[in-house]
Chains A and B, each alone.
Chain A
Amino acid sequence: AQSVTQPDIHITVSEGASLELRCNYSYGATPYLFWYVQSPGQGLQLLLKYFSGDTLVQGIKGFEAEFKRSQSSFNLRKPSVHWSDAAEYFCAVAGANNLFFGTGTRLTVIP
């Protein structure tokens, strides 16, 4: 069965520092992977997705993620974090009819 693990519940970084959010997935075949961001009181917005091809995918707002099959990982990165990036981030893997979400990582940005 598909599943996603986000091992970090809460991460705090300084503005301008680099960021990496971890995501590990469980899936028998080639996975379709997503990263979503949720600002307080808002729905989820798609940051980026991986379906096939290049293992480094670029998304919106300067985010990127790298698919590593050998590690079953799809970590999200950003070279320089902005205060507006403070939010909750969800990794997800596609099932037959729906998405399986991780439990999320809350990002706090310190000025």
Chain B
Amino acid sequence: NAGVTQTPKFRILKIGQSMTLQCTQDMNHNYMYWYRQDPGMGLKLIYYSVGAGITDKGEVPNGYNVSRSTTEDFPLRLELAAPSQTSVYFCASRMDRQTSNQPQHFGDGTRLSIL
């Protein structure tokens, strides 16, 4: 039972480079989320998806893009990496809306440094 799997675990990018953070879940969850975690700031929502083909912006979407072509996968793309995007990124999923009696499952995170 893998749950939510994120790859890579660590990555260093140069300013202006692009990359895709991968997230996959094997629980057939409808809802998926991308958060970033910065020291002393808690987690901020970047994008979320309520199902395949449907995505929406969260609190801090600028500089990121997402897609949801399948239920399992929810990749996060950085097109032009900037130092402000240095952070730890977490993917999460849940079966239904946040207000239902379902826990949110988190991946182990991707630590991204942009130099």
Residues of A within 8 A of B (CB): 4, 9, 32, 34, 36, 41-46, 49, 51, 90, 94-99, 101-104
Chain B residues, Cβ within 8 Å of A103: 40-42
Interface residues of B in 71-112 (CB under 8 A from A): 90, 92, 97-99, 101, 103-104, 106-109
Selected A-B contacts with CB under 8 Å, 17 pairs: A32-B99, A42-B108, A43-B106, A43-B108, A44-B92, A44-B104, A44-B106, A51-B101, A90-B42, A94-B98, A96-B97, A96-B98, A97-B56, A98-B33, A99-B43, A101-B44, A102-B42
* Shortest Cβ distance from residue A25 to the other chain B in the assembled complex, whole angstroms: 13
The proximity string for B residues 23-65 relative to A, scoring 1 for CB distances below 8 Å and 0 otherwise, is 0000000010100000011111100101000001010000000
Asked if B66 is an interface residue, CB under 8 A from chain A, the answer is no
Which single residue of chain A is at the shortest CB-CB distance from B107? A43
Which single residue of chain A is at the shortest CB-CB distance from B38? A103
Instruction: Check A98/B45 contact, CB under 8 A, given A43-B109, A45-B106, A51-B101.
Output: yes
Residues of B within 8 A of A (CB): 4, 31, 33, 40-45, 48, 50, 56, 58, 90, 92, 97-99, 101, 103-104, 106-109
The CA-CA distance from A90 to B35 in the complex, in Å, is: 14
Could you tell me if A41 and B98 are in contact, using CB atoms closer than 8 angstroms? no
Which single residue of chain A is at the shortest CB-CB distance from B47? A98
Which 6 residue pairs are nearest across A and B when measured between Cβ atoms?
Answer: A43-B106, A101-B42, A94-B98, A44-B106, A101-B43, A103-B42
Chain B residues, Cβ within 8 Å of A90: 42-43
The CA-CA distance from A98 to B41 in the complex, in Å, is: 16
Could you tell me if A98 and B108 are in contact, using CB atoms closer than 8 angstroms? no
Chain A residues, Cβ within 8 Å of B101: 49, 51
Could you tell me if A49 and B103 are in contact, using CB atoms closer than 8 angstroms? yes
The CA-CA distance from A90 to B41 in the complex, in Å, is: 11
